[in-house]
Structure 1
């Protein structure tokens, strides 16, 4: 059955290969990127490669919350269903940059954009149930032993790897908390580490050195969580590649999960999540 699937960050790397794989399977794929010119080139490339006429392109800078809301509004206005939201977009910032609101860019894109997109798309996902939210995290979250809450969300004491890893703890913790919020709605939420993959993000971390598996390997993990019947039976899980596993004890801590949930709610203004059961058909 054809599904409508949004893949954020799908003009490059794992997201682009994921979008191509889903399109080749006959699904309607909504591409997302930040650069309009690059987005149009990738759209044309994927249309030629897959022969699909069910690809669409949306442009938004996910570090800017207003643009995140605009993206959700545009898609909800154009489509009457969304079966899968793949929050694939992510960044690794070698130098500290600050997004609107004084929020460090890594945290804004990797954590807050996922949080806000899940909130904004909840009505559409619930009406499309069974539906799935797939949040891309990272095995890097395991390196974090404690959270310096005073350093969030602006990271004035900035270390690039620490900011990245903390943002991914937030993703894993938030996803587990979100799954509890979604119980009984037919919408599931899971997070995954797609593998150490040769991407622009990895090159930023390694200062341009090559390494990692090809993007196809990471795309296989994302497609698995988006479509496989087995993954559809799980919610609140964390996967490394395509295997369910326990995340770090820190990410499993209910206090940490609630703290990230409260921070996401406060920073995005999504303090009240409407009852998703009200949207069910």
Structure 2
């Protein structure tokens, strides 16, 4: 059965690869990108290689949280439901460290943006009892410091990235508890995949990008994962593919999660 699937950060990397594969299966795919020209180019490309014309997209710079909110409003006007949301957009290295709101750009793109988008789209996801939310976490996870979260303290790139990914994982686990019918899975798609982000950050890769896109594909639509929620999938473990594994211990600490969400709302209300 054809599904309606929204994939953020899907104009390149594993987001684009999984979009192509899902498009070839005949699903209705909605891409997301920062630039309208590139988005239009990728939409045309995927239509051509997949033979599927049910491809469209939305534009927003995820370092601008107001733009994320605006995109969510556009989506709600255009769509009546979403079956699968893959929060894939992410950033490591960047020409700038702070957003116009004074937040570390890694926290903005990797955590606040999917937090805003997902919560805004929950009404569309809840229309289908088999809906899934796949949040792109990482093997790099580090205890979230409130100063780093709200932009008052400066931390190095690697630390900001690791904190933002743990914040995403902690929120994912809490969201899973709040949603009865919608599955929420946080996933490390694999370390140092052959993507632009990894190559720019480290100048090397360990595995092909398809390792990441293949697990996103499986987690999004495979019956193998029906009813599974509130878990962390580690694609660095297992053979030939990963397995569900413990995340950072903070992701299971209810008090830390409560504090994270409290400060998250404070940051968003201020901005």
> What TM bracket, shorter-length normalisation?
over 0.9
* 1:222–1:166 CA distance, 2 compared to 1 (3 A): same
Give 1:188's aligned residue.
183
- Aligned equivalents of 2:146, 2:176: Cα separation in 1: 23
Name the CA distance, whole Å, in 2 between partners of 1:70 and 1:111. Answer: 17
Q: How far 1:225 moved relative to its partner?
A: 1.2
Structure 1 gap ranges (5+): 271-281
Residue 41 of structure 1 aligns to a residue in which SS? helix
Contact 2:146–2:263 under 8 Å retained in 1: no
- Report Cα offsets for 1:122-177 as digits up to 9, x if no partner: 11111233211110000011xx2x43323332163220000000000101111001
User: For residues 227 and 41 of structure 2, what CA distance do their matches in structure 1 show?
Assistant: 37
2:113 counterpart of 1:113: yes
- Cα distance in 1 for residues equivalent to 2:215 and 2:91: 19
Aligned length: 263
Match among 150, 154, 157 for residue 157 of structure 1:
154
**Where does 1:47-126 land on structure 2 (aligned, <5 Å)?**
47-93=47-93, 97-126=97-126
Please state whether the residue corresponding to 1:139 is helix, strand or coil. coil
SS at match of 2:150: coil
Candidates 205, 211, 224, aligned match of 1:230: 224
Matching residue of 2:139: 139
Moved over 6 A (4+): none
Over residues 252-276 of structure 1, what are the superposed CA-to-partner deviations in whole Å (9 max), with x where a residue is unaligned?
2212222222222222349xxxxxx
1:4-43 correspondence runs (5 A): 4-43=4-43
Rounded Cα–Cα distance in structure 1 between residues aligned with 2:69 and 2:145: 28
Contact 1:94 1:204 in 2 (8 A): no
Which structure has more relative contact order (CA 8 Å, sep 6+)? It is 1
TM-score by length of 2: 0.92
Does the Cα contact within 8 Å between 2:144 and 2:167 map onto a contact in 1? no
Question: Pick from 208, 214, 217: which aligns with 2:208?
Answer: 214
1:275 is aligned to none
Structure 1 CA distance, aligned partners of 2:9 and 2:79?
19
Matched residues in 1 for 2:218 and 2:265: separation? 29
Distance 2:265 2:26 in 1: 36
Corresponding residue of 1:172: 169
Partners of 1:60 and 1:220 in 2: how far apart? 25
